[in-house]
Amino acid sequence: MKGKTAIVVASSQGLGKAIARQLVSQGANVMLASRNEEKLRKAVEELNALSKGRAAYVVTDVTKKEMIEHLVNQTVEMFGNIHFLVNNAGGPPPGTITTLTDENWQQAFELNLLSYVRMIREALPHLKKTKGKIINIASSSIKEPIPGLILSNTFRMGIVGLTKTLAQELAPYGILINTVAPGRIATERVAFLDEQNAKKLGITKEEMEARMKAMIPLGRYGTPEEFANVVTFLLSDANTYMTGQSFLVDGGMVKAI
């Protein structure tokens, strides 16, 4: 991956940051993007300290079309091209059909699905030149809906449909696109969900974590680094024939086939 360029969205922390770190450690140039400039600045300093690839950032709200355009333009201006696009976004709020408003639904659509469409559309002219690769980050809910997360369950499935369709549309250009879905990975998002579920059940967060880990055959949460390893493999030259697929990184938690 030395000398190749990636855009990794929502990369100031969590899964996105772990992916960016793995790519930089392999010699890639990575443009980080999120809304939090302070976290982005710290992440870029950390990654550049590896003295491998180069890291930079653009403050980006991916629900804003003009900011997506700016992100792509800045990446090409700084690094010359784009080989990899990793679409990622923070999870929408929990809720049910009766508690969530039209505004909640619209915000989740724009953040968790429309942003992926816009990022791909904007980066596509550059990815065609490099025969690049796209990874769409989703959730284990693409195989098994998660109670209380109707927004995520709905729009993550849209990501799968998008990926499957684009695998056919982009194949003539040599572009591979896949979906990678995390299960219980030790991130701030999962910690938040554990805390919310613990409150509903009247138990401690630690008890909630223990219950969730008991449902995972490997008996533990995954690490962001383990998830990033899978994404890095799919982006690497080791993958030349897998496209349109959905890969779960969940320690065997999801029982669906």
pLDDT of residue 107: 97
> Is 257's pLDDT higher than 90?
no
One-letter identity of residue 27 = G
Indicate the DSSP class of residue 147.
T
Question: Are 201 and 208 in contact, with CB atoms under 8 Å apart?
Answer: yes
pLDDT mean across residues, the chain: 96
Q: Percentage of the chain surpassing pLDDT 90? A: 94
In terms of residues, how long is the chain? 257
pLDDT of residue 83: 98
Please name the residues in contact with 245: beta carbons below 8 A apart, sequence gap of 6 or more. Answer: 178, 179
Strand-pairing partners, residue 180, are 137, 247
Question: Are 124 and 65 in contact, with CB atoms under 8 Å apart?
Answer: no
Question: Are 130 and 79 in contact, with CB atoms under 8 Å apart?
Answer: no
Mean pLDDT of 189-207: 90
Rounded CA separation 91/171 (Å): 29
Residue 38, classified by CB atoms within 10 Å of its CB into exposed (0-12), middle (13-18) or buried (19+), is exposed
Mean pLDDT of 171-182: 98
What is the number of other CB atoms lying within 10 angstroms of the CB of residue 252? 12
pLDDT of residue 127: 98
> Is 217's pLDDT higher than 90?
yes
Structure tokens at 228: 């990033």
Question: DSSP letters along 117-141, please?
Answer: HHHHHHHHHHHHHHT-EEEEE--GG
Query: Tell me: the pLDDT tens digits for 57-99?
Result: 999 999 999 999 999 999 999 999 999 999 999 889 999 999 9
pLDDT of residue 220: 96
> Is 192's pLDDT higher than 90?
no
**How confident is residue 12, by pLDDT bands cut at 50, 70 and 90?**
very high
User: What domains can you pick out in the chain, each with its CATH number?
Assistant: 5-184+223-249 (3.40.50.720), 186-221 (no CATH)
Question: Are 179 and 155 in contact, with CB atoms under 8 Å apart?
Answer: no
Mean pLDDT of 199-212: 93
- Least Cα distance to 138 among 249, 253, 44 occurs for 249
Rounded CA separation 141/164 (Å): 17
Query: How many angstroms from the chain centroid is the CA of residue 198?
Result: 26
Rounded CA separation 135/137 (Å): 6
Query: Tell me: the pLDDT tens digits for 97-125?
Result: 999 999 999 999 999 999 999 999 999 99
Residue 200, classified by CB atoms within 10 Å of its CB into exposed (0-12), middle (13-18) or buried (19+), is exposed
> Is 183's pLDDT higher than 90?
yes
Rounded CA separation 62/129 (Å): 24
Rounded CA separation 219/42 (Å): 32
**How confident is residue 189, by pLDDT bands cut at 50, 70 and 90?**
confident
Helix (H, G, I), strand (E, B) or coil at 23: helix
